[in-house]
Amino acid sequence: MVDSISGENVQIDADAIPSVIDITFEGLSENFPKMLFLLSIVAWLALFTIVLGVKFLSGDLSWLLGQWWLYILFIAPIGVFYWFSGALARSKSYALRELDIHYRSGLIWQKIISLPYNRIQHVEVESGPVERYFKMVSLKIFTAGGSRADMSIPGLTPALASKIRAYLIEQGDLGEAA
């Protein structure tokens, strides 16, 4: 007979198991909200340009450009973006314990995902052009089954990310495989 799937069977007091609730999470880089803010302004500008462009192609633009409320309409949301970028950045945080890594995210749907080191298949450090400008990288952690990263922590400084990566590889006993 194979050893039972559950193996050793010592009684465990469920309340004695360390809980995820007690973890202190750490915030992302202070550049992260700045990046979000910049990206949202760029996206807003792009949207505005498209609307104006369509208007320009379909007729006269000068009347619209002469209206004062157009400028209010453009500037007003920027305050909201500023607040939103800050709030979104604050909602994302991570924590490392002795045996697992946790990532919290989401303003409306708040999510905590936990990933034990001994299930890590490989770890990637990625950075897009905008991230590089802000001197940040994303850390992506993969487990078995599934093609996408199971956990993706953005807004880390390159030094910190490579430190975490090295730690994960060491803990996950991945050796050169990662």
Residue ranges that bind other proteins, judged by CB under 8 A: 1-2, 4-7, 9, 11-12, 14, 17-21, 99-100, 106, 108-119, 143-147, 150-151
Residue 7 or 129: which CB sits closer to other proteins?
A: 7
Q: Tell me how far, at minimum, the Cβ of 137 lies from other proteins, in Å.
A: 21
For the sheet with 151-156, list strands across it.
Answer: 122-126, 137-142, 151-156
Handedness of CA 70, 75, 76, 78 (dihedral sign): positive
Q: Tell me how far, at minimum, the Cβ of 174 lies from other proteins, in Å.
A: 14
Q: Tell me how far, at minimum, the Cβ of 116 lies from other proteins, in Å.
A: 4
Residue 53 or 116: which CB sits closer to other proteins?
A: 116
Question: Is there a contact between 23 and 95 (Cβ–Cβ < 8 Å)?
Answer: yes
Pairing outcome for strands 122-126 and 137-142: antiparallel
Residue 58 or 110: which CB sits closer to other proteins?
A: 110
The Cα–Cα gap between 142 and 122 comes to: 5
